[in-house]
């Protein structure tokens, strides 16, 4: 299994250099004017220079050295080793890549990872509690047989949690409308709606 890791490619990243300069200034107030003179000119960012990006994924800190072009989806799968989040269309048309960022459901394929610096990311790997007990939405998907092939399921589950949290799961029609961004090629839709109704009722007030 993958572990949170520092993957900075160069010995001293710009971020670490900046952080070091700032803490040195704080620790030595007498040298403040010298430190100030040294800090304002940040190195001009360069093309193809990896950017060290700090993410909190499922409550674990990660520091990833990424090409700016890396989507949050590819950062999760290929750099953090969390392959539960699925790549479907990679163009924001299917919802398979849905994750929660700071508690809100988003499409990780349409978000550059570097834009998520400092954010809290929740993927399907982070839903079960540490004793292995499934999240009520995961259990509801099993109870209602809300999938066949399962490829869209992580995205469906994260989107469903977001949908309930937003208060957009008041009725079956609401659920169908507000879950329309998650396509299921196996057409398990009636079962998905039933699963969301069950999990909604179980998590209300929780």
Partner 1 sequence: MRPFVYEQPADISAAVAIASRFTTNDDQPTRANAQFIAGGTNLADYMKLGVAEPNRLLDLNRLKESGLRQIRVTDDGIRFGALVRMGEAADHAEVKRRYPVIADSLRLAASGQIRNMASLAGNILQRTRCEYFRETSWQCNKRVPGSGCAAMEGFNRQHAVLGGSDACIATYHGDFAQALIALDAVVHAEGSRGARSIPFAKLHRQPGDTPHIETDLAADEIITAIAVPAVPWARRSLYLKIRDRESYAFALASAAVALDLDGETVREARIALGGVATVPWRAGAAEQSLQGKKLDETSAEAAADAAFAQAQPRQHNAFKIELGKRTLVRALLETRDMKA
Of residues 100 through 119, those in contact with partner 1 by CB under 8 A are 104-107, 109-112, 114-115
In 3-state terms, what secondary structure has residue 63?
A: strand
- Among residues 21, 60, 68, 148, the one that binds partner 1 under rule CB under 8 A: 68
Our finding on whether 47 is near partner 1 (CB under 8 A) is yes
Show the binding pattern over residues 174-193: x = contacts partner 1 (CB under 8 A), - = does not.
Answer: --xxxxxxx-----------
Residue 43 found at the interface with partner 1 (CB under 8 A): no
Q: Does 123 bind partner 1 (CB under 8 A)?
A: no
Q: Is 204 a residue that touches partner 1 (CB under 8 A)?
A: no
Nearer to partner 1, 143 or 174 (CB): 174
Given CA atoms 173, 103, 187, 91 in this order, what sign does their dihedral have? positive
Count of positions on this chain that bind partner 1 (CB under 8 A): 37
Instruction: For residue 170, state whether it binds partner 1 (rule: CB under 8 A).
Output: no
């Amino acid at each position: 299994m993958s572990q949170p890791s520092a993957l900075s490619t160069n010995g001293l990243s710009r971020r670490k250099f900046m952080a070091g300069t700032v803490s040195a200034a704080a620790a030595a107030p007498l040298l403040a004017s010298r430190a100030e003179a040294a800090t304002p000119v940040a190195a001009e960012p360069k093309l193809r220079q990896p950017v060290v990006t700090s993410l909190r994924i499922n409550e674990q800190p990660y520091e990833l050295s990424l090409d700016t072009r890396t989507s949050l989806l590819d950062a999760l799968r290929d750099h953090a080793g969390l392959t539960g989040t699925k790549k479907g269309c990679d163009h924001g048309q299917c919802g398979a890549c849905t994750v929660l960022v700071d508690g809100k459901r988003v499409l990780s394929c349409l978000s550059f990872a570097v834009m998520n610096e400092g954010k809290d990311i929740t993927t399907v790997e982070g839903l079960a509690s540490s004793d292995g007990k499934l999240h009520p939405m995961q259990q509801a998907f099993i109870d209602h047989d809300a999938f066949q092939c399962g490829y869209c399921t992580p995205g469906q589950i994260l989107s469903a949690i977001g949908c309930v949290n937003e208060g957009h799961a008041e009725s079956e029609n609401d659920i169908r409308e507000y879950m329309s961004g998650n396509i299921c090629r196996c057409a398990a839709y009636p079962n998905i709606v039933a699963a969301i109704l069950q999990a909604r009722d179980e998590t209300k007030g929780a």
